[in-house]
């Protein structure tokens, strides 16, 4: 299944304006410069200073504090630079970037939160949805002619959507239609009638729909599956903690694939479950790769992790 690329910050290299300093090397450099200058300005005393190896030496402690502040300042500069980019910005910085577009890209209700009361993980989830719409917004400057533009308008019209797609379907040699598929952000991803109608009404506005396009809005086709995975651990590995790590990794993989066209391949499931401390992984279900198209989504109804033994 091939979809247009979506910005994934986890797949991008870290943005660096100032190359981070090695704190230990910086401390050595500072101490060397201090001794050189001390010897230059006060040769008798500078030449006799040789206690920098002691933990309680106040001069070295002072240089350690300055080195720590130097490293933090470099990191702050890099963070400030990242805040100016769409892929790394969060919170108000993301809103500022969205304001660059003509008319701006306001947050939807499902992307708006109180920074003081909303858990950080929820803030990041909402920011990521908003980030995606900002990225798609440039495709919708005129109408919903491009695939990404249909997706932008659908996600904007229905804040409760997790994902949307647009596919050109050929009904006959001369007839074709654009099918916009909606996926709700709920355990059951099928959209309601009201959500479908809201998207349809928005997409059929004269300022949105191309005059010659026939647009149909439909709900996602859901393919249910469950994960049953047998885990063999290495000796002396704590079962409770390692199984919790595996579950978190598998859950993260499932969440990442909770989109239209999100395939569930055995290789990816193996990769998620194979955390340090695991000797072997055997997937009982699903029995084969689950490959879906842009109108389908996989729903994992159950995850069963079974510790079946330890390597000898």
Task: Return the HEC string of 138-158.
Answer: HHHCCCCCCHHHHHHHHHHHC
Distance in angstroms (rounded) separating the CA atoms of residues 199 and 205? 10
Tell me what pLDDT residue 85 has. 87
**Token code pair at residue 214:** 């026939």
Q: Name the least confident of 82-86, 150-154, 249-253.
A: 82-86
pLDDT band at 187 (very low <50, low <70, confident <90, very high): very high
**Same domain membership, residue 232 and residue 183:** no
Structural domain includes residue 137: no
pLDDT at position 144 over 70: no
**Same domain membership, residue 228 and residue 211:** no
**Token code pair at residue 135:** 């990225």
pLDDT at position 293 over 80: yes
Structural domain includes residue 122: no
Task: Please say which residue of 157, 186, 219 terminates a domain.
Answer: 219
Instruction: Supply the range of the domain harboring residue 171.
Output: 142-219
pLDDT at position 312 over 90: no
Average pLDDT value over all residues in the chain: 88
Distance in angstroms (rounded) separating the CA atoms of residues 199 and 204? 9
Q: Name the least confident of 9-23, 57-71, 165-179, 252-266.
A: 9-23
pLDDT band at 6 (very low <50, low <70, confident <90, very high): low
Share of the chain above pLDDT 90, in %: 55
Please choose, from the candidates 210, 205, 212, the residue with its C-alpha nearest in 3D space to the C-alpha of residue 176: 212
Sheet holding 215-219, edge to edge: 161-170, 176-184, 215-219
Most confident option among 7-21, 53-67, 213-227: 213-227
Q: Contacts for 110-117 with beta carbons within 8 Å, 24 or more apart?
A: 110/159, 110/160, 110/185, 111/159, 115/91
pLDDT band at 143 (very low <50, low <70, confident <90, very high): low
What angle (nearest 5°) sits at the alpha carbon of residue 230, between those of residues 226 and 233? Answer: 140
Decide if 200 contacts 144 (C-beta within 8 A).
no
Task: Please say which residue of 184, 219, 254 terminates a domain.
Answer: 219
Tell me what pLDDT residue 8 has. 65
**Same domain membership, residue 212 and residue 227:** no
**Token code pair at residue 300:** 């994992």
pLDDT at position 269 over 90: yes
How many domains are contained in the chain? 3
74, HSE (Cβ side, Cα atoms, 13 Å): 15
Structural domain includes residue 39: yes
Can you tell me the mean pLDDT for 20-49? Answer: 83
Structural domain includes residue 244: yes
The more confident residue out of 154 and 55 is 154
119, HSE (Cβ side, Cα atoms, 13 Å): 3
Residue entry with tokens 């055997």: 282
Task: Please say which residue of 82, 97, 114 terminates a domain.
Answer: 82
| Coil, strand or helix at 191 | coil
CATH code for position 154: 3.30.300
pLDDT band at 5 (very low <50, low <70, confident <90, very high): low
**Same domain membership, residue 51 and residue 40:** yes
| Coil, strand or helix at 278 | strand
Structural domain includes residue 110: no
Please choose, from the candidates 147, 208, 154, 194, the residue with its C-alpha nearest in 3D space to the C-alpha of residue 5: 147
């Amino acid at each position: 299944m091939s979809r247009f690329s979506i910005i994934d910050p986890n797949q991008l290299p870290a943005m660096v304006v100032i190359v981070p300093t090695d704190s230990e090397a910086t401390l050595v450099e500072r101490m060397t410069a201090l001794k050189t200058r001390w010897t230059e300005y006060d040769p008798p005393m500078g030449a006799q200073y040789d206690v920098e190896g002691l933990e309680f030496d106040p001069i070295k402690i002072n240089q350690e504090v300055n080195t720590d502040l130097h490293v933090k300042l470099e990191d702050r500069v890099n963070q400030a630079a990242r805040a100016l980019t769409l892929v790394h910005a969060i919170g108000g910085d993301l809103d500022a970037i969205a304001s660059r577009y003509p008319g701006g890209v306001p947050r939807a209700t499902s992307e708006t939160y109180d920074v003081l009361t909303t858990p950080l993980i929820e803030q990041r989830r909402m920011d990521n949805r908003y980030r995606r719409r900002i990225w798609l917004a440039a495709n919708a400057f005129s109408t919903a002619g491009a695939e990404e533009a249909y997706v932008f308008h659908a996600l904007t019209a229905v804040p409760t959507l997790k994902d949307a797609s647009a596919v050109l379907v050929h009904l006959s040699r001369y007839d074709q239609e654009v099918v916009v598929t909606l996926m709700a952000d709920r355990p059951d991803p099928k959209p309601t009638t009201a959500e479908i109608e809201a998207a349809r009404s928005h997409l059929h506005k004269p300022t949105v729909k191309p005059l010659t396009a026939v647009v149909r809005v439909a709900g996602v086709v859901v393919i249910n599956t469950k994960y049953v995975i047998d885990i063999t651990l290495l000796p002396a590995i704590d079962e409770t903690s390692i199984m919790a790590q595996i579950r978190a990794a598998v859950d993260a993989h499932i969440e990442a694939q909770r989109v239209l066209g999100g395939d569930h391949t055995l290789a990816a499931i193996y990769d998620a479950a194979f955390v340090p401390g695991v000797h072997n992984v055997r997937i009982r279900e699903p029995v084969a790769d689950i490959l879906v198209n842009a109108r389908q989504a996989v729903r994992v109804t159950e995850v069963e992790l079974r510790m079946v033994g330890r390597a000898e």
